[in-house]
């Protein structure tokens, strides 16, 4: 009851004309920067930090919250239309979303991602308002051993995206590991695979890899077969928005995505990428339209991950508002904005700055509504992009990818890496190696490695931590069931159907 | 702030010039000079905030008419430094913000350029570090911690910022003073701002070392116990001894300062020192430092250069002991 009162009070803070204006400005700006690869919410907020000298704290946090949520919406647009993810959290969206766009259902893909973002964002924000203290307790129980076991589980589930050939899929996955290792090793401070280049010390940005493999690789592939076939881009087919069948396939995926995204987002080392992988894998497993995955594009594969990434964005706010823990780059910058007002974010924030915190939470609800209103009409405009003839469209994608990559750190080396990866992406496409596992390996590999080594440092080399911690054991058991379960089940089914007397050598 | 800053270094940096021009106050008197500030880190981190605060205070005190801030982030500043040394050579109206983290990064990354090539102007601020334990920990004092470390360092996992950063350096110095070999230490580095803190709150590690500001609110709320701080003397409002008072002869500030490029004239250098000294003594600067928990440790010109040489030697020695250099 008290929460409701405080939330009502929060709405009274957020519902002033000036603050609504800030919210509208933030969401618009957020959508715009989400669309551009390279410019992310963290950077935009960092560059807008000087505004904190000029406006009231409530106003600037409402602006920042709008940017944060807006970027999560905008990031999916380019993933779907151009196969060029604007944020690392929308890389998975490109897998099915772009296939849908190319088979004439781009409008539906954009709609399910916008509405799914709204649904999951709202669920996530409700979670922040009502469940924060409980969720944060659960999140803190995750130590390095638990994270490593979670990674094991993630590896097992994402084997779903390895494609038809395990050998090719695993090759791609290991290529991702190698790219992920580049840079200074966090545990020892020593450089790995940097070849003495200072620019490589911080590693290769995952956005560059995704844009290189997906967008540049695709463009080269298209260019190479231009004379061999007709244009692949099919203009809009059927309704602009979603059909009844597509609604039916989307809503469960939204809810599942939100349920995966929120708790993982709230974990200090959870992030937004892992829930999108998990959601994608689960949707693929549960879907009745498996044949659409990777061919014409399955709407569940867009709806689930999009919901997951928006719910995880809300989850990140849980440790930030309850404990003052920044668990993403954007949260860290928002915390430094608190400091420029002389407010020290910490466990007491909710009590000492109730006005500000509840105003912020209320503005998140408002931002969600504004975003869905802002984005749905834009879909009609966005899909027109697909009517551009292929040569011009792909040239545009190349320019867009190049500018965006340069924008990440104004480093010419990044452009060289982009085109090398583009060439690699072209060859992979040509010889039928899946590119998605590279990204997954690159994100999960180093995370798993770091958490494993941390767990071993803390336990002083004792392996038992992975099975004596209850949470860790549970996760490993789930992973084992995921790996062996289908085989055991198939074996039992087989025996039951044929009867033991028919199994050769078993009589 | 180290964790947070190191974390941010890895985030993207773009369109800085365009956005940086987004000043919200009009330019002041025309006779005041225009300056350029080079930040070898991405926007949002500690060096970037220092640069933007310098810009803000200089303009509000009408000491400059405006400034342009350039960010070149990466690898603890060692990606930006060569650019400042080579491309900004001789530009008398320019400043680079850097600090102790860069000294360590230059040594650990075996960078081709180092801070002896640039012109030291002033050491401005510092953050002292804090040694904390979870509220449920058996360690009540810094002496308890050191005793456990002496008994078996492998049983005392300590969380902090990235390997070779100021937190790791302080841990090495504490162990060295206590006579514990640095190679036996169990140091658990974290990159994400909140990650080290969450490992402490979740009782995953025995103790934590990081900038005081990183832990202050948790200490106030009773979730962490503050054993000691690395400042030179007791601080107002902080109920903990310094490491020296606790019998560990170590003092450490994670300092930040400003440098001019190589090859600037003596006149330009003197003018820049005066400009920064005037700023550092202003009321507005004092307020900003207080808000951000920055301790003012002003040191200018030749004194700063001398300090830099000594600190570089100390850091190099401890990184060597830790096996990082």
What does the pLDDT look like over B156-192, one tens digit per residue?
999 988 887 888 889 999 998 988 888 888 998 887 5
Q: How much is the ipTM here?
A: 0.75
B250 against A240, higher pLDDT:
B250
**A417 vs B66: CA distance, rounded Å:** 36
- pLDDT at position A236: 60
- pLDDT at position B44: 65
B256 against A342, higher pLDDT:
B256
Residue A409 pLDDT > 90: no
Q: Which chain B residue has the Cα nearest residue A45?
A: B44
Show residues of chain B in contact with A188, CB under 8 Å: 163, 323-324
Residue B26 pLDDT > 50: no
Show residues of chain A in contact with B127, CB under 8 Å: none
Question: In this complex, do B23 and A207 lie within 8 Å of one another by their Cβ atoms?
Answer: no
Average confidence (pLDDT) over A244-260: 90
A83 within a domain of the structure (yes/no): yes
Say if CB A69 and CB A364 are below 8 A apart: yes
What's the pLDDT band for B11 if we cut at 50, 70, 90? very low
Query: Which of A207-221, A234-248, B55-69 is the least confident region?
Result: A234-248
Show residues of chain A in contact with B323, CB under 8 Å: 188
B45's CB contacts (< 8 A; 6+ apart) are: B1, B4, B5, B6, B8, B9, B73
Residue A211 pLDDT > 90: no
Phi, psi of A77 (to 5 degrees): -60, -50
| Closest chain A C-alpha to B303 CA, distance in angstroms | 30
**B195 vs A454: CA distance, rounded Å:** 12
Please state, as a whole number, how many other Cβ atoms lie within 10 Å of the Cβ of residue B152: 12
**A26 vs A30: CA distance, rounded Å:** 6
- pLDDT at position B131: 94
Question: In this complex, do B75 and A188 lie within 8 Å of one another by their Cβ atoms?
Answer: no
* B201-240 residues touching A, CB cutoff 8 A: 201-202, 204-205, 213, 216-218, 220-221, 223
List Cα–Cα distances, A144 to A124, A147, A458, B67, in angstroms: 25, 5, 9, 44
Q: Does B66 touch chain A (CB under 8 A)?
A: no
Q: Does B48 touch chain A (CB under 8 A)?
A: yes
- pLDDT, tens digit (0-9, with 9 covering 90-100), for B195-218: 788 888 888 899 999 888 788 888
**B163 vs B155: CA distance, rounded Å:** 19
Sequential DSSP letters for A111-178? HHHHHHHHHHHHHHHHHHHHHHHHHHHHHHT--HHHHHHHHHHHHHHHGGGG-S-HHHHHHHHHHHHH
A463 within a domain of the structure (yes/no): no
Average confidence (pLDDT) over B37-53: 81
Q: Does B187 touch chain A (CB under 8 A)?
A: yes
A198 within a domain of the structure (yes/no): no
Residue A230 pLDDT > 60: no
Interface test with A, best of B87, B183, B198 (most A CBs within 10 A): B198
Q: Tokens at residue A420, please?
A: 């090398």
Phi, psi of A188 (to 5 degrees): -120, -10
Residue A500 pLDDT > 90: no
Q: Tokens at residue B203, please?
A: 């009782």
Question: In this complex, do A325 and B198 lie within 8 Å of one another by their Cβ atoms?
Answer: yes
Cross-chain CB nearest to B199 (options A44, A46, A143): A143
Interface test with B, best of A409, A413, A418, A451 (most B CBs within 10 A): A409
What's the pLDDT band for A162 if we cut at 50, 70, 90? low
A219 within a domain of the structure (yes/no): no
Smallest CA-to-CA distance from A315 within A364, A351, A354 is with A364
Task: Look over chain A and give the mean of its residue pLDDT values, rounded to a whole number.
Answer: 83
Average confidence (pLDDT) over A413-433: 91
Show residues of chain B in contact with A40, CB under 8 Å: 11-12
- pLDDT at position A228: 52
- pLDDT at position A499: 59
- pLDDT, tens digit (0-9, with 9 covering 90-100), for A344-373: 777 777 777 888 888 888 888 888 899 888
A258 within a domain of the structure (yes/no): yes
Say if CB A296 and CB A103 are below 8 A apart: yes
**B233 vs B245: CA distance, rounded Å:** 9
| Closest chain B C-alpha to A268 CA, distance in angstroms | 6
| Closest chain A C-alpha to B155 CA, distance in angstroms | 7
Task: Look over chain B and give the mean of its residue pLDDT values, rounded to a whole number.
Answer: 81
Q: Which chain B residue has the Cα nearest residue A145?
A: B204
- pLDDT at position B88: 83
**A265 vs A283: CA distance, rounded Å:** 19
Say if CB B132 and CB B74 are below 8 A apart: no
A92 against A483, higher pLDDT:
A92
Domain that holds residue A361: 2-160+232-399
A70 within a domain of the structure (yes/no): yes
- pLDDT at position B8: 38
Q: Tokens at residue A309, please?
A: 């990434």
Average confidence (pLDDT) over A150-174: 80
A487 within a domain of the structure (yes/no): no
Question: In this complex, do A457 and B188 lie within 8 Å of one another by their Cβ atoms?
Answer: yes
Strand partners, B229: B130, B242
Cα-Cα end-to-end distance for chain A: 67
Please state, as a whole number, how many other Cβ atoms lie within 10 Å of the Cβ of residue A1: 5
A389 within a domain of the structure (yes/no): yes
Q: Tokens at residue A176, please?
A: 């991702």
Residue B111 CA to chain centroid, in angstroms? 19
Residue B295 pLDDT > 50: yes
Quote the number of domains for chain A.
1
- pLDDT at position A178: 93
Q: What is the 3-state secondary structure (H, E, C) of A208-222?
A: HHHHHHHHHHHHHHH
Question: In this complex, do A186 and B157 lie within 8 Å of one another by their Cβ atoms?
Answer: no
Q: pTM for this structure? A: 0.79
Helix and strand numbers (H, E) in chain A are 21, 2
Show residues of chain A in contact with B82, CB under 8 Å: 198
Cross-chain CB nearest to A347 (options B24, B44, B218): B218
Q: Does B269 touch chain A (CB under 8 A)?
A: no
Domains annotated for chain B, with CATH where assigned, are 2-125+253-321 (3.40.190.150), 127-229 (3.40.190.10)
**A276 vs A92: CA distance, rounded Å:** 6
Element (H, E) at B8: helix B2-9
- pLDDT, tens digit (0-9, with 9 covering 90-100), for A302-321: 999 999 999 998 888 888 88
Query: Which of A418-427, B24-33, B275-284 is the least confident region?
Result: B24-33
**A206 vs A274: CA distance, rounded Å:** 13
- pLDDT at position A232: 55
Residue B84 pLDDT > 90: no
Question: In this complex, do A335 and B193 lie within 8 Å of one another by their Cβ atoms?
Answer: yes
- Parallel/antiparallel/unpaired status of strands A191-192 and B187-189: unpaired
Sign of the CA dihedral with A332 first, then A333, A338, and A339 last: positive
Q: Which chain A residue has the Cα nearest residue B69?
A: A47
């Amino acid at each position: 009851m008290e929460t409701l009162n405080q939330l009502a009070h929060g709405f009274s803070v957020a519902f002033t004309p000036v603050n609504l204006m800030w919210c509208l400005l933030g969401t618009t700006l957020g959508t715009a920067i989400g669309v551009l690869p390279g410019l992310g919410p963290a950077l935009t907020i960092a560059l807008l930090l000087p505004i904190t000298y000029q406006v009231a704290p409530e106003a600037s946090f409402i602006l920042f919250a709008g940017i944060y949520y807006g970027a999560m919406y905008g990031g999916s647009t380019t993933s779907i239309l151009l196969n060029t993810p604007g944020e690392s959290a929308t890389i998975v969206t490109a897998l099915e979303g772009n296939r849908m766009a190319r088979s004439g259902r781009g409008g539906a893909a954009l709609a399910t991602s916008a509405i799914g973002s709204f649904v999951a964002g709202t669920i996530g924000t409700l979670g922040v308002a009502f469940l924060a203290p409980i969720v944060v307790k659960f999140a803190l129980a995750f130590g390095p051993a638990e994270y490593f076991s979670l990674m094991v589980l993630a590896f097992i589930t994402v084997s779903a995206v390895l494609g038809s050939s395990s050998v090719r899929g695993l090759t791609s996955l290991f290529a991702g590991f190698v790219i992920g290792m580049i840079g200074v090793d966090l545990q020892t401070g020593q450089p790995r695979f940097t070849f003495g280049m200072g620019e490589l010390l911080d590693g290769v940005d995952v956005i560059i890899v995704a844009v290189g493999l997906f967008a540049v690789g695709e463009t080269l592939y298209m260019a190479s077969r231009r004379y061999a076939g007709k244009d692949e881009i099919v203009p809009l087919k059927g309704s602009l928005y979603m059909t009844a069948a597509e609604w039916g396939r989307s809503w469960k995926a939204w809810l599942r995505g939100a349920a995966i995204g929120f708790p993982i987002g709230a974990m200090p080392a959870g992030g937004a990428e892992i829930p999108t992988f998990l959601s994608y894998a689960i949707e693929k497993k549960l879907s009745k339209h498996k044949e659409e995955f990777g061919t014409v594009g399955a709407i569940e594969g867009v709806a689930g991950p999009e919901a997951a990434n928006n719910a995880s964005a809300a989850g990140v706010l849980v440790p930030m508002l309850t404990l003052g823990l920044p668990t993403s780059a954007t949260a860290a910058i928002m915390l430094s904005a608190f400091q420029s007002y002389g407010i020290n974010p910490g466990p007491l924030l909710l009590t000492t700055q109730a006005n500000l915190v509840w105003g912020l939470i209320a503005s998140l609800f408002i931002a969600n509504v504004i975003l869905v209103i802002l984005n749905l009409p834009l879909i009609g405009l966005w899909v027109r992009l697909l009517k551009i003839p292929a040569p011009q469209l792909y040239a545009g994608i190349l320019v867009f990818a190049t500018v965006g990559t340069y924008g990440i750190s104004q480093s010419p080396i990044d452009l060289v890496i982009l085109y090398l990866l583009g060439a690699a992406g072209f060859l992979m496409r040509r010889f039928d190696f899946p590119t998605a596992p590279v990204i997954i390996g690159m994100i999960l590999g180093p995370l798993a490695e770091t958490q494993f080594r941390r767990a071993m440092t803390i336990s002083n080399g004792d392996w038992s931590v992975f099975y004596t911690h209850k949470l860790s054991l549970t996760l490993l058991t789930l992973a084992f069931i995921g790996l062996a379960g289908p085989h055991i089940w198939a074996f039992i089914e087989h025996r039951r159907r044929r009867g033991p007397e028919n199994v050769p050598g078993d009589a | 702030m180290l964790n947070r800053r190191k974390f941010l270094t890895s985030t993207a940096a773009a369109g800085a010039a365009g956005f940086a021009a987004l000043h919200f106050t009009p330019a002041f008197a025309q006779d005041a000079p225009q300056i350029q500030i080079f930040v070898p880190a991405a926007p949002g981190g500690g060096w970037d905030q220092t640069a933007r605060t310098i810009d803000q205070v200089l303009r509000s005190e009408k000491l400059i008419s405006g400034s342009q801030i350039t960010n070149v982030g990466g690898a603890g500043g060692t990606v930006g430094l060569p650019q400042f040394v080579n491309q900004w050579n001789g530009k008398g109206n320019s400043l680079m913000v850097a600090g102790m983290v860069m000294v360590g990064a230059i040594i650990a990354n075996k960078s081709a350029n180092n801070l002896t090539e640039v012109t030291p102007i002033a050491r401005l601020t510092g953050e002292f570090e804090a040694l904390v334990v979870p509220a449920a920990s058996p360690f009540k004092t810094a002496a308890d911690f050191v005793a456990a470390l002496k008994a078996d360092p492998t049983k005392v996992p300590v969380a902090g910022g990235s390997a070779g950063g100021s937190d790791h350096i302080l841990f090495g110095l504490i162990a060295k003073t206590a006579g514990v070999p640095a190679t036996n230490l169990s140091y658990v580095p974290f990159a994400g701002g909140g990650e080290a803190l969450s490992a402490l709150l979740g009782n995953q590690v025995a103790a934590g070392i990081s900038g005081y500001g990183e832990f202050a609110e948790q200490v106030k709320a009773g979730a962490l116990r503050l054993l000691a701080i690395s400042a030179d003397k007791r601080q107002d409002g902080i109920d903990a001894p310094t490491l020296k008072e606790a019998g560990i002869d170590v003092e450490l500030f994670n300092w930040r300062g400003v440098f001019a490029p190589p090859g600037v004239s003596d006149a330009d250098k003197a003018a820049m020192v005066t400009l920064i000294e005037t700023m550092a003594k202003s009321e507005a600067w004092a307020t900003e430092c207080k808000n951000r928990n920055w301790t003012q440790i002003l040191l200018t010109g030749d004194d700063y250069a001398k300090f830099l040489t000594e600190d570089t030697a100390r850091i190099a020695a401890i990184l060597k002991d830790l096996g990082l250099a």
